[in-house]
Structure 1
Amino acid sequence: MTTPLDTSPDTDLDALVRRMDPDRWLASRFIADPNARADVVALYAFNYELARVAGGVSNALMGEIRLTWWREAMEEVAARRPPRKHPTVEAVAAAGYPSSALAEMAEARMADLDGAPFATEAQVLAYIDATAGAVMMLATWRLDPEADLHAVKSAARAYGLAGLWRLKLAGVDRLPLDWTQADVRRRVREALAKARDELKALSVAAFPAAALAALAAAQTGTRALGELEARARLTWAVATGRV
């Protein structure tokens, strides 16, 4: 199958994630083991490739073709076929992530091609669980295969809600039409309160996967969070085990 992707994909995944997903890249700096860090960065690069599809196509059909390419690439890995010749595909395949879960992440991104706001809170949370939630759970699994992955669910929801708010400020509104900034902030606070209890069960090794939640409250404002402030918040979170 001919790839519908760029003919010269990025080969330096760490540089790609640093440029395009700085929050996750900063959090990955707290992963001590270099092999585990590289594998988590590969996952973040995979997530970026999926997330950018909707904004990089002129119509939904082209987006479906691209996301189908990624889903099928992961299904082939799950079937023990050689990975497609793409740096991100090869990296996540080598990392040993459950390929079926990666295929489901690609399928979940089909929702991005609609572009219309979600109608209910249940739809918002289902979308976050299948996207930001799946990323955080898989990163947690890579850092600690024995971890209870449900321990990061609320942390991922807090970060995912803040992410949808940032998208709204950028002109892409997926939140329900009747949600105000105050509504988003309240939901983020509630998710963080749950996360603080849930994350007590997470090992020190796995915590960097969930540390992103420490940025969520600050990211529901009207200004972007600077790198120094984000780094300080992440450092505090990892040092204390709290978000």
Structure 2
Amino acid sequence: MTTLDITHRNDGPDTDLDALVRRVDPDRWLASRFIADPKARADVIALYAFNYELARVAGGVSNALMGEIRLTWWREAMDEIAAGQPARKHPTVEAVAAAGYPLSALAEMAEARMADLEAAPFDTEGEVLAYVDATAGAVMMLAAWRLDPKADLHAVQDAARAYGLAGLWRLKRAGVQRLPADWTGADVRRRVDAARAKANAALKTLPVAAFPAAAPAALARAQTRGRELGELETRARLTWAVATGRV
């Protein structure tokens, strides 16, 4: 296992994306410090920056049509690269293109975010899980793939569900209701705990090199208990997760 690297140096073209992810997605950024290879870490950071660009669309537009236009821009940017065209001049587009991620998967991530433009919450657990799988799940699977292309990506599905459900609960606490209206905090905690139990069984097969992709799930249980974690506690929980291979 690698030790937690919390240094931040101005040493290359990836630095701006690294600083962005550190600011907007600190859970995943801290987990990425356990990635020993600098190139792999930069490629995972590019993926997290791409996810952020998609996730922030809904909150940055005044109507759904504008959101659709912006998400279509990202989807088409991936489609163009897949068709052999040069990457659009955007640091995140260029970074994910250079990282070699499956472009169809990135385009699907953009399409999945169209659901964010709907004001109504999901009606069923199936809808919630489908959304989580297409968003947080896609991010975790692609990160695991980049860290070890031979990894069984299904091994991280339940870890992603735990983290994604916790994220939706945090959104609800911030005033954005996407979970079914009748779900209580206890309902979410029960589902997160069940997903973590399945995850810890599945993660036994995940290569060590790929585990930092799944590590944020170690924060899910605490994040559904009504408080935000500080950086020191987040680091400690991630360190424990990487050391034990459990979330």
Corresponding residue for residue 141 of structure 1: 145
- Cα drift, residue 78 of structure 1: 1.2
Evaluate the alpha carbon distance shift between residue 43 and residue 192 of structure 1 in structure 2; reply closer, same or farther with a 3 A threshold.
same
In structure 2, how many angstroms separate the alpha carbons of the residues matched to 1:239 and 1:78?
38
| 1:69 partner amino acid | W
1:51 lines up with 2:64 in the alignment: no
How far apart are 1:116 and its partner, in Å? 1.2
Match among 163, 183, 204 for residue 179 of structure 1: 183
SS of match in other structure, 2:94: helix
Is the aligned partner of 1:203 residue 2:237? no
Q: What residue number does 2:71 align with?
A: 67
Whether 1:158 and 2:162 are equivalent positions in the alignment is yes
- Opposite residue 158 of structure 2, the aligned amino acid is S
Paired amino acid for 1:62 = M
Task: Identify unmatched segments of 5+ residues in structure 2.
Answer: 1-13
| Other structure's SS at 1:31 match | coil
Distance 1:223 1:210 in 2: 21
Look up the SS of the partner of 1:216 in the other structure: helix
Secondary structure in structure 2 of the residue aligned to 1:131: helix
**Which contiguous aligned blocks of 4+ residues in structure 1 show a shift greater than 2 angstroms?**
none
Q: Please give the root-mean-square deviation of Cα atoms over the aligned residues, in Å.
A: 0.9
- The residue aligned with 1:238 is 242
Aligned to 2:7: none
Measure, in 2, the Cα distance between the counterparts of 1:79 and 1:14: 28
Inter-partner Cα distance in structure 2 for 1:80 and 1:11:
27
Question: What's the offset of the Cα at 1:11?
Answer: 7.4
Shift of 1:79: 1.2
1:92 aligns with 2:96: yes
SS at match of 1:145: coil
- 2:108 and 2:200 map into 1 onto residues whose CA distance is 28
Aligned partners of 1:41, 1:106: CA distance in 2, in Å? Answer: 17
CA contact (8 A) 1:159 1:216 kept: yes
**Distance (whole Å) between structure 2 residues aligned to residue 63 and residue 27 of structure 1:** 30
Length-normalised TM-score, structure 2: 0.94
SS of equivalent to 2:232: helix
The equivalent of 1:189 in structure 2 is: 193
Structure 1 match to 2:34: 30
Equivalent AA in structure 2 for residue 215 of structure 1:
L
Q: Deviations over 1:184-227 (max 9, x none)?
A: 00000000000000000001100000011100000002211111
Change (3 A) 1:73 1:11: farther
8 Å Cα contact 1:11/1:87 also seen in 2: no
* TM-score, normalisation: structure 1: 0.95
